[in-house]
Amino acid sequence: MRYIIQLVGMLRGIASGMKYLSDMGYVHRDLAARNILVNSNLVCKVSDFGLSQVLEDDPEAAYTTTGGKIPIRWTAPEAIAYRKFSSASDAWSYGIVMWEVMSYGERPYWEMSNQDVILSVEEGYRLPAPMGCPASLHQLMLHCWQKERNHRPKFTDIVKVFAEGIPGWRSSLAPAFGPGRDPGDPGSNPTSGSRCMEPASPSACVSASLSLSLSV
């Protein structure tokens, strides 16, 4: 129970960080657990903006790229097929990150090949709920994995879901990130010694706090 409460707090922090990026008109393109920094208080920061792009005129728009590698297991179908990226494709990736967090760092789609992942997702396959994952959290993942990008939740909506409380968890969320703290805010006081979130228990996922910085 305690670990699940901590994990939900971490998911809220990641969603808040992505809301900030989306509000600023940025598309991350490589959102994955390996690119989340976690400090000793389990405060999460989104990192690694090597693939990010800015949508200067319309944050809800999409842009198309013609080259570069794509992290298949975390990428939305339209981005794989047409290289069309948007905040909605980041929302798909966020759903995969949710699954990674709730499964304590399992590899998405396990040993399936990238081609099998592409075909399976296109045919409607979606990752099942990790063991012990609340059904309401898995439903949010499935919402992020809607085939039509316009049907996926915006990060504003996702943050609102966590702020209002996952059904059955409202009274349990506060200890995960403390009163008055929004773990997804960009923050300040950058320090060194950060490590990416990896498998094990939440208490083992430790890094120094890192401020959100954009590199495009």
Q: Are 33 and 71 in contact (CB under 8 A)?
A: no
Spatial separation of the C-alpha atoms in residues 152 and 141, rounded to whole Å = 10
What is the Cα–Cα distance from 17 to 182, expressed in whole angstroms?
9
How far apart are the C-alpha atoms of 50 and 31, rounded to whole Å?
11
Of 38, 54, 48, 47, residue with least CA distance to 6: 38
Coil, strand, or helix at residue 121? Answer: helix
Catalytic residue among 23, 30, 90, 157: 30
Give, for 158, the enclosing helix (H) or strand (E).
helix 155-164
Report the C-alpha dihedral over residues 139, 20, 190, 3, rounded to 10 degrees.
Answer: -20
Tokens of 121: 């997702």
Give CA–CA dist 33/30, Å, rounded: 10
In whole angstroms, give the CA distance from residue 176 to residue 158.
17
Active site residue 30: yes
CA 147 from centroid of its chain's CA atoms: 17
Catalytic site positions? 30
